Structure 1
Amino acid sequence: MDNGHTSGPPGPSGQQDRLGAGWETYRPAVFGAAYRLLGSVADAEDVTQDVWLRAAGADLRQIDDLRAWLTVAARRCYDILRSARVRREAYVGPWLPEPLLTGPDAAEPVLVDESVTSAMLLIMEELSPPERVAFVLHDVFGLQFARIAQVLGVSAPAARQLASRARRRVARAKQSAPQAPKAERERVLAAFRAAYEAGDLAGLVRLLHPDVVYVTDGGGRIPAARKLIHGGERVAEVMVRVGRQWRPDRIDLAEVGGELALVFHREGRVYSVDTVQITEGLITAYRRVVNPEKLQHL
């Protein structure tokens, strides 16, 4: 993955050093904001690079703090979000956020909180582009509504209303599907991995909620279910069958989006990244990304 160390723009060395130092300080936050807005590592990297190039040709007095960097990034993300609906409609099968490793060995630094979990990114996917921008910039990064209004081309009161509406929708979604504590996730996922590796159908059924939903994102690039699969026994049967076909070399527990997830390796590469929703000790949603385009950065 690109580490983001880009040479500074042409110009006097003092200005170049100042811009470069500021960029190294703020780059992780710029990437983090773009990832939260877009749900794509590749798109977030493109936006981050674009922000740097734009800043390199700008008046340095306008690039004096994190708020300025984030404003530039948000404008670019907003343009992408407004065209993303069309791309989602053309996407083959279910769409899931691109997995982002966030553990201590992660190549891409990002400010980690619940807003980078797969569950939260899917909730934000249901927001309108203006709501999503207002929510991320204000509730996650603390930007004032006057700056957010400039990004969205609305008044400050309108920007405040957008963030408030998004906040209510996010709160309702979180209440309907509360996330499990870290210790519970570790216990359930460790047990799930053991049952999966053993091909233990009954063991998997015990860990899956009777109404669990199984989502696979292959993007039309690899064989994967193009519809949601419901029910504990049905999902367990599919997983056992797929496990026999895949024969993964190993299954790691890794931090993805700030939460423990399962990373499947096969033939020397990451083949699948699986995130889960756990409620009262049972897996209520199992989300599997196998689209190779979404895994190549890993």
Structure 2
Amino acid sequence: MRDLRAWLVTVAARTSYNVLKSARVRRESYVGPWLPEPLLTGPDAAAAVLMDESVSTALLVVMETLTPAERVALVLHDVFDVPFGRIAGVLGSTPAAGRKLASRARARVAAVQERPRVSRAETERVLKAFKAAADAGDIAELVQLLDPGAVHVADGGGKVTAARRPVRGAETIALLAVRQIEIRRPDTFQIVEVNGSPALATFCGDVLVWLDTVEIADGRITTWRRLANPEKLGHI
């Protein structure tokens, strides 16, 4: 049975490796920043989801920056306890190279997992305050809610209007948030749970137009991610 498990893991890993390499090629032609598709995990989810940090938006974003080889080496060794000799066979490399790939990937993942966790209540509070300030056009309040070095990342996928490069700085992001409200004029919003954390879903009529997630430190937003690509929002 152990040999069968090892064979299945190896076959799945080789297939995944090929898929990842193909996806990476497609991603290189993607318009603007890429964000992972949201996974609805709260009480409104159609099916129960086993939640842990492995599906957090921040971690999924970091995983996407890994090369296919780094991701396969990390998952095979750290999750399935596959020896580097066998990993080398999957990747067509050497055990030493596989060990180095896993080590690099592990360090980047650890940097995300070591960030202080913010409570659900605090995240909801900041999201609602940010939404209220943007709706009111209150630039000063938005700047107070944003870390001076905050970054805004938007994924429109070339389907809708969205910043095609990360936007940095509290004042610049505040102005952008107000401008987007003035242009789109959404009418309703709802707090939902996505990837294990509160997110702000904004609607125009019955159409979900934005899904915002944030990272917070010391009560201020350090990263604001806006998913606007309709192809990624259709299942929410």
User: Are the equivalent residues in 1 in contact too, given 2:53–2:113 (CA < 8 A)?
Assistant: no
> Partner of 1:250 in structure 2?
188
2:159 equivalent among 215, 221, 234: 221
Distance in 2, matches of 1:111 and 1:294, equals 21
Alignment partner, residue 109 of structure 2 = 170
Aligned-residue offset at 1:100:
1.4
Choose which of 166, 179, 194 in structure 1 pairs with 2:132. 194
1:210 to 148, 153, 162: 148
Q: 1:98 to 1:144 in 2, by over 3 A?
A: same
Distance in 2 between residues matched to 1:155 and 1:227, nearest whole Å: 37
> 1:112 maps to which residue?
51
Question: Could you tell me which of 29, 41, 49 is aligned with 1:102?
Answer: 41
The number of aligned residues is: 235
Counterparts of residues 142-181 of structure 1 (less than 5 Å): 142-145=80-83, 148=87, 151-153=90-92, 159-172=98-111, 178-181=116-119
Q: TM-score, normalised by structure 2?
A: 0.84
The structure carrying a bigger helix percent of its residues is: 1
Distance 1:137 1:198 in 2: 49
Select which of 13, 31, 34 maps to 1:92: 31
Gaps of 5+ in 1: 1-60
Structure 1 position 296 matched with structure 2 position 229: no
Look up the SS of the partner of 2:23 in the other structure. helix
1:145 and 1:159 in contact (8 A); partners too: no
CA distance in 2, matches of 1:138, 1:251: 42
2:63 paired with 1:124: yes
Conserved? CA contact 1:201–1:240, under 8 Å: yes
TM-score of the aligned structures, taking structure 1 as reference length: 0.68
Secondary structure, aligned partner of 1:132? helix
Select which of 153, 173, 193 maps to 1:235.
173
Unaligned runs of 5+ in 2: none
CA deviation profile, 1:236-256 (whole Å, cap 9, x unmatched): 111111112222232111111
The alignment status of 1:77 with 2:33, answered yes or no, reads no
The CA deviation string for residues 90-119 of structure 1, in whole angstroms up to 9 with x for no partner, is 111111111111113323554322121121
Percent identity at matched positions? 53
CA distance in 2, matches of 1:116, 1:133: 17
The one-letter code of the counterpart of 1:102 is: T
Structure with the bigger percentage of strand: 2
SS of 2:37 mapped into structure 1 = coil
Over the aligned positions, Cα root-mean-square deviation in angstroms equals 2.8
Corresponding position of 1:37:
none
Q: Distance in 1 between matches of 2:47 and 2:99?
A: 31
Q: Which structure ranks higher in relative contact order (CA pairs < 8 Å, sequence separation ≥ 6)?
A: 2
Which secondary structure does the structure 1 equivalent of 2:28 belong to? helix
Q: Which amino acid aligns with 2:154?
A: T
Match of 1:133 among 72, 78, 87: 72
Structure 2 counterpart of 1:261, from 195, 199, 204: 199
In structure 1, C-alpha distance between the alignment counterparts of 2:158 and 2:175, rounded to whole Å: 23
Q: Distance in 1 between matches of 2:231 and 2:64?
A: 20
Name the CA distance, whole Å, in 1 between partners of 2:118 and 2:210.
22
Secondary structure at the counterpart of residue 212 of structure 2? strand
Between the aligned partners of 1:289 and 1:85, the Cα distance in structure 2 is 20
SS at match of 2:36: coil
Q: Tell whether the 8 Å contact from 2:200 to 2:213 is kept in structure 1 after alignment.
A: yes
Counting only pairs closer than 5 Å after superposition, residues 39-58 of structure 1 correspond to structure 2 as none
Shift of 1:145: 3.1
